[in-house]
A = this chain, B = another copy of it.
């Protein structure tokens, strides 16, 4: 009657992790730089160098790579201006702004509860080793 019954989520995850929507999206939140880049681009479009200065502790390599991944998934648009020397501008797409909007709830939670987490952590470490 229900043939889907036998397709267990864990098997799907094992065979094709890219089919899990949550994983696909969270990939850009779990990595080290995406959220910082996104929140920076939320303010306004940035050129490559502007982003470097806005997030100074990122390496050039990781900035390039993170922007590329965000562009690939449709969160960021890249526009090249044929100036001399060339300049490139990055901005959020509608999808990107939507992602940041959904992410905002988590950010709010983080700021609201950061103290609670640190206290829980201290207590745990005191009770255990």
Check A106 against B106 for contact (C-beta < 8 Å): yes
**How many copies of this chain does the complex contain?**
2
Whether, in the assembled complex, A103 has its beta carbon less than 8 Å from a beta carbon of chain B, the answer is yes
CB closest chain-B residue, reference A99: B109
**Complex Cα spacing A124 to B74, Å:** 9
Q: List chain B residues, Cβ under 8 A from A116.
A: 74, 95
Most B C-beta atoms less than 10 A away, residue of A22, A120, A121? A22
- Known A29-B30, A56-B10, A72-B125: A109·B120 in contact at CB below 8 Å: no
Q: List chain B residues, Cβ under 8 A from A11.
A: 57
Tell me the chain A residues, 1-60 only, with Cβ under 8 Å from chain B: 8, 10-11, 13-14, 21-22, 24-26, 29-31, 35, 55-57
Q: List chain B residues, Cβ under 8 A from A99.
A: 109, 113
Tell me the chain A residues, 69-99 only, with Cβ under 8 Å from chain B: 71-74, 95, 98-99
Q: What 9 A-B pairs are tightest by C-beta distance, nearest first?
A: A30-B30, A74-B120, A21-B114, A102-B109, A25-B110, A21-B110, A10-B57, A72-B124, A102-B105
17 extra interface residue pairs, beta carbon distance < 8 Å, beyond A74-B124, A105-B106 = A8-B56, A10-B57, A21-B111, A24-B110, A25-B117, A26-B29, A30-B30, A71-B124, A72-B120, A72-B125, A74-B116, A95-B120, A99-B109, A99-B113, A102-B105, A103-B106, A106-B106
